[in-house]
């Protein structure tokens, strides 16, 4: 059977969000989470991820946007890194300093390893920034060296699958920005997920969207989600985090997955 990886992004976005994600992991509603190790609460929050079921995958959510970096860099303004749109433009124009990107990615890996005592099971990026030109080869090289058994997130998928799920425009855009990532990963002996979903409008309709994310699944089908407490000031998707958490608490993910021919190990 095709495998479902249901991953909560943004662990350590706040301690309150981490508590919700840890609860959902322990109750079998999720089987993966990716961690923002640059957050000041990461080290303390990481204790919540110990002694989980062996099937749970803990990954690194490389963060190069909208947060304070671990290492000072030239593209930080007002103490935080830029949003994804400015970062994408800088990457496309070759305006990012490779040395600065490398130092920050290395530092986030180091913080993961220091807290967890092992490399991440997988690597992805906040707002998928890990797939941007100029950033992608650095992420691939460091992952191959520091976590050779890890897999990387790609938003690539078959066109028929992208068109058959909700929020198709955003899904196609993300797939376009990830194009070639699977091939590049395989060239350095790394793997990627095969099948990706999770885009919707953060509009209170997660219950409607969730089963659609399992449609037209790939062999190692990754679905991202963002459950949490939704209490951090300035969080643009705070209400959606609360809604997603409530929906996941009330459903049997394994049953929903099975209905779509997916095995869900949690």
pLDDT in tens, 103-143: 999 999 999 999 999 999 999 999 999 999 999 999 999 99
Q: How confident is the model at residue 18 (pLDDT cuts 50, 70, 90)?
A: very high
Q: Could you give the CA distance from residue 170 to residue 177 in angstroms, rounded to a whole number?
A: 11
Q: How confident is the model at residue 205 (pLDDT cuts 50, 70, 90)?
A: very high
Strands (E), the chain: 2-11, 32-35, 57-62, 122-125, 151-152, 191-192, 196-197, 220-225, 262-263
| Residue tagged 């959510």 (tokens) | 61
Q: Could you give the CA distance from residue 46 to residue 111 in angstroms, rounded to a whole number?
A: 10
The whole model's pTM is what?
A: 0.97
Q: How confident is the model at residue 1 (pLDDT cuts 50, 70, 90)?
A: confident
Q: Could you give the CA distance from residue 137 to residue 1 in angstroms, rounded to a whole number?
A: 32
Average pLDDT on 241-266 reads: 96
Residue 228: alpha-carbon gap to chain centroid: 14
64 CB contacts (<8 Å, ≥6 apart)? Answer: 81, 87, 101, 104, 125, 126, 129, 130, 135
Average pLDDT on 28-40 reads: 98
**CA-to-CA dists, residue 197 to 41, 112, 156, 193, angstroms:** 29, 25, 9, 11
Q: Does residue 266 surpass a pLDDT of 90?
A: no
Strands (E), 101-178: 122-125, 151-152
Q: Does residue 98 surpass a pLDDT of 90?
A: yes
Q: Between vectors from CA 118 to CA 113 and to CA 122, what angle results, nearest 5°?
A: 90
Structure tokens at 252: 């049997």
Average pLDDT on 214-225 reads: 97
Q: Could you give the CA distance from residue 25 to residue 114 in angstroms, rounded to a whole number?
A: 22
| Tens digit of each residue's pLDDT (9 = 90 or more) over 56-84 | 999 999 999 999 999 999 999 899 999 99
Q: Does residue 187 surpass a pLDDT of 90?
A: yes
Sign of the dihedral defined by the CA atoms of residues 186, 199, 1, 245, in that order: positive
- What is the model's pLDDT at position 34? 98
Structure tokens at 237: 């998707």
| Tens digit of each residue's pLDDT (9 = 90 or more) over 159-179 | 999 998 889 999 999 999 999
Q: Between vectors from CA 12 to CA 35 and to CA 133, what angle results, nearest 5°?
A: 45
Q: Which residues of 226-262 are buried (b: 16+ CB within 10 A; e: fewer)?
A: bbbbbeeeebeebebbbbbbebbeeeebbebbeebeb
Beta bridge mates, 122: 151
Q: Could you give the CA distance from residue 232 to residue 15 in angstroms, rounded to a whole number?
A: 9
How big is the chain by its Cα radius of gyration, in Å? 17
- What is the model's pLDDT at position 166? 85
């Amino acid at each position: 059977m095709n495998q479902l990886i249901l991953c909560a992004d943004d662990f350590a976005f706040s301690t309150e969000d981490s508590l919700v994600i840890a609860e959902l992991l322990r109750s079998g509603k999720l089987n993966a989470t990716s961690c923002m190790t640059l957050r000041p609460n990461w080290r303390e929050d990481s204790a919540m991820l110990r002694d989980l079921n062996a099937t749970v995958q803990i990954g690194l959510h490389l963060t190069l946007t909208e947060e304070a970096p671990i290492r000072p860099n030239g593209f930080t303004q007002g103490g935080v890194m830029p949003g994804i749109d400015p970062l994408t433009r800088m990457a496309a124009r070759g305006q990012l300093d490779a040395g600065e990107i490398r130092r920050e990615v290395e530092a986030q890996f180091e913080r993961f390893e220091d807290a967890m005592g092992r490399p991440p099971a997988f690597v992805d990026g906040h707002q998928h920034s890990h797939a941007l030109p100029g950033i992608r080869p650095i992420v691939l090289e460091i992952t191959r060296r520091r976590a050779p058994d890890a897999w990387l997130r790609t938003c690539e998928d078959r066109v028929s699958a992208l068109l058959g799920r909700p929020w198709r425009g955003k899904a196609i855009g993300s797939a376009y920005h990830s194009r070639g990532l699977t091939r590049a990963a395989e060239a350095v002996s790394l793997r990627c997920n095969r099948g990706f979903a999770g885009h919707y409008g953060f509009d209170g309709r997660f219950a409607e969207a969730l089963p659609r994310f399992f449609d037209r699944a790939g062999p190692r089908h990754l679905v991202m989600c963002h459950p949490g407490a939704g209490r951090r000031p300035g969080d643009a998707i705070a209400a959606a985090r609360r809604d997603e958490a409530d929906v996941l608490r009330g459903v049997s993910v394994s049953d929903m997955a099975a209905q779509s021919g997916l095995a869900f190990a949690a």
